[in-house]
Structure 1
Amino acid sequence: MTHIIRYLESGNEVGARPGIGVACDDGTVRQLPVSSLAELLAGSLEEIRAVLDSATSAAALPESRVRRLAPVDGLTEVWASGVTYRRSRQARIAESGDGDVYARVYDAVRPELFFKSVAWRAVSDGDPIGVRADSAANTPEPELALVFNAAGQIVGVTVCNDVSSRSIEGENPLYLPQAKIYTASCALGPGIRPVWEVADLGDLAISCTISRGDAVVWSASTSTALLHRRFDDLAEHLFRAMDFPHGVILSTGTGIVPELDLSLTAGDIVRIEIEHVGVLTNPVIQVPV
């Protein structure tokens, strides 16, 4: 499985500039001739494919010698979609004192889109994700994330955990930014799978497990085939009256949500797998207030 990755070479982490490369099926990483992912995403789809093709002649570095970073940098933003699956609609209504707003947006022409993270706040595979100390109910939200270039073309896909505070959002929908945007609430990885290597984005299995100690305390699965919104429709609304000169990542919403009596706690391990895209695994910590 090929991934476009940001990485640091082992033994060269302090003060080093991250490399941008292609992680190949043979366990090697080949560096790309760009200074950042943001620079890569400024190009057209054809230009990006040409840059990746050029990696075949680059020197190979064993992946055992690199540490992957979150696949977003520079001025590239992370956005997210809400209430795009029936299960998400049900969960939002159950947790909210004003469930009608979620029922209406599910069927509305305009989707719910919201800002999730700047690049430097996103965490990578293996890094801790956070839950708020002032929230009674915290949940992972396993999602397929689309990676767009500046022209609005889908370049690739990655795995996103849109970690959320259900109790804060449920108290009042206007608290959505506080429920969604805080330290370590956005995890991305393990890299960007080029879109031309994925046969059908509309039929990918997604699974998630929460482990606590030696036990799996929750697991569920879904498929992007159950997504209520089309990817091109989400993209069209995101790019309305908005420019993304360094590309943008759009997480497409979750179709699996734990019941309200299960909340993430410090020490849990969240594992998300998306078919043909990759696995994102993160330990949970509590973010102090």
Structure 2
Amino acid sequence: MRILRYKNKRETIVLAALADDERVYDLPHSDFMELVYASEREGKPTIQYVKDLIAGQEPIEEAFDELQLAVPIAAPEVWASGVTYEKSKDARNYEATAGKLDADTFYDKVYEAERPEIFFKSTAARTIGPGQPVYLRSDSDWQIPEPELGLVLSKSGKVLGYTAGNDMSCRDIEGENPLYLPQAKVWKHSCAIGPVILLAEAVDDPYSFDLACRIYRSDEKVVEGTANTKQLKRRFDELVEFLARDNELFDGTVLLTGTCIVPPNEFTLKEGDRIEIEISSIGVLNNPVKKQESKIPTAH
């Protein structure tokens, strides 16, 4: 069972369920967390609560692929994990050493360390959903998407569901100096999540998700990569535990769990590109790439 939000003909955002038969059913709640709270009051798993709600109900007329989807949850905070896959470690080393892959760096250390890398990624105002453009940072010349599985969390750290995420990254800024990480990761429209939230109760093994990333330029596929969450170095409960240490989590927080798909080192995104991030049982997060106007102030 998957949960989504879409804009109806009256331009109203509606919460809905996407059943296994791909039919869409409107739900009598305003957002994902309200749905979770209601299921808790009923003493039911969220998936059973949703099944009871839509039992005997007619689906909407529109098919899922005809809907104008919105971001599935207005996450108060989005956090991200780094160097959780070996491929990510190698890519970060390449950036930090100008291609000298035999040189040990702090990325090697954090890959093996007890403490994982976790960093703040986005707020609700900076996070976009399916079909909306991700923005290129104006002061970077080497930018890529980072396709990741996202965990939707409660304030207690419980995993409520799974979604697809795009942790846009500036490889040149991060490679120049690790202290520049916030600037390499956080800017307007630098994070996308969606298209839906797959309820946690519907997942038998979260370490068996297949991930794929495809990048199109002028309708031609120029990058494609695949991975599986079984390749993760760290467990999800480990990442959540470190995120929650001496930290306040908010209901609906999203934690991105790292990437194992990195485009070739010579590749950088350009305006007009289109990014598809697909995760099995979740769906395809589709976003165009847009160049925003430079916000660098000019000297007077």
Shift of 1:84: 0.4
* Among candidates 191, 199, 223, match of residue 186 of structure 1: 191
| CA shift in 2, pair 1:161/1:185, >3 Å | same
Unaligned stretches of 5+ in structure 2?
99-103, 295-300
- In structure 2, distance between residues paired with 1:133 and 1:33: 42
Equivalent position of 1:69 in the other structure: 70
Shift of 1:244: 2.4
- In structure 2, distance between residues paired with 1:32 and 1:237: 34
Equivalent position of 1:201 in the other structure: 206
Q: Which amino acid aligns with 1:61?
A: I
Matches within 5 A, 1:53-64: 53-57=51-55, 58=57, 60-64=59-63
Equivalent position of 1:173 in the other structure: 178
- In structure 2, distance between residues paired with 1:130 and 1:46: 40
Task: Give per-residue Cα distances to partners, 1:113-142, cap 9 Å, x unaligned.
Answer: 111111232111121111112101000101
| Contact 2:46–2:199, Cα closer than 8 Å, also in 1 | no
Equivalent position of 2:298 in the other structure: none
- In structure 2, distance between residues paired with 1:235 and 1:179: 23
What TM-score do the two structures reach when normalised by structure 2? 0.87
Shift of 1:97: 4.5
- In structure 2, distance between residues paired with 1:118 and 1:37: 17
Shift of 1:29: 2.7
Matches within 5 A, 1:128-167: 128-167=133-172
SS of equivalent residue, structure 2 residue 25: strand
1:212 paired with 2:217, answer yes
Task: Give per-residue Cα distances to partners, 1:204-248, cap 9 Å, x unaligned.
Answer: 211111111132111111111110010110011111122224231
Equivalent position of 2:251 in the other structure: 246
Shift of 1:274: 1.1
Q: Which amino acid aligns with 1:271?
A: E
- In structure 1, distance between residues paired with 2:48 and 2:212: 33
SS of equivalent residue, structure 1 residue 60: coil
Q: Which amino acid aligns with 1:186?
A: C
| Contact 2:73–2:252, Cα closer than 8 Å, also in 1 | no
Worse-superposed segment, 46-55 or 245-254? 46-55
How large is the RMSD of aligned CA atoms in angstroms?
A: 2.1
Task: Give per-residue Cα distances to partners, 1:84-125, cap 9 Å, x unaligned.
Answer: 000000000100149612111111111111111112321111
| CA shift in 2, pair 1:182/1:81, >3 Å | same
- In structure 1, distance between residues paired with 2:49 and 2:215: 38
- In structure 1, distance between residues paired with 2:281 and 2:51: 20
SS of equivalent residue, structure 1 residue 61: coil
Q: Which amino acid aligns with 2:68?
A: R
> Identity over aligned residues, as a percent?
41
| CA shift in 2, pair 1:263/1:125, >3 Å | same
Task: Give per-residue Cα distances to partners, 1:2-28, cap 9 Å, x unaligned.
Answer: 321122112x12xx3x22221224444
Unaligned stretches of 5+ in structure 1?
none
| Contact 1:169–1:176, Cα closer than 8 Å, also in 2 | yes
Task: Give per-residue Cα distances to partners, 1:237-271, cap 9 Å, x unaligned.
Answer: 11112222423111100001112210000011111
Q: Which amino acid aligns with 1:71?
A: P
Equivalent position of 1:94 in the other structure: 94
Structure index of larger Rg: 2
Equivalent position of 1:31 in the other structure: 26
| Contact 1:207–1:272, Cα closer than 8 Å, also in 2 | yes
| Contact 1:78–1:249, Cα closer than 8 Å, also in 2 | yes
Number of residue-to-residue matches in the alignment: 283
| CA shift in 2, pair 1:127/1:46, >3 Å | same
Q: Which amino acid aligns with 2:140?
A: S
| Contact 1:141–1:256, Cα closer than 8 Å, also in 2 | yes
1:81 paired with 2:92, answer no
- In structure 2, distance between residues paired with 1:86 and 1:27: 35
Q: Which amino acid aligns with 2:141?
A: A
| CA shift in 2, pair 1:47/1:196, >3 Å | closer
SS of equivalent residue, structure 1 residue 170: helix
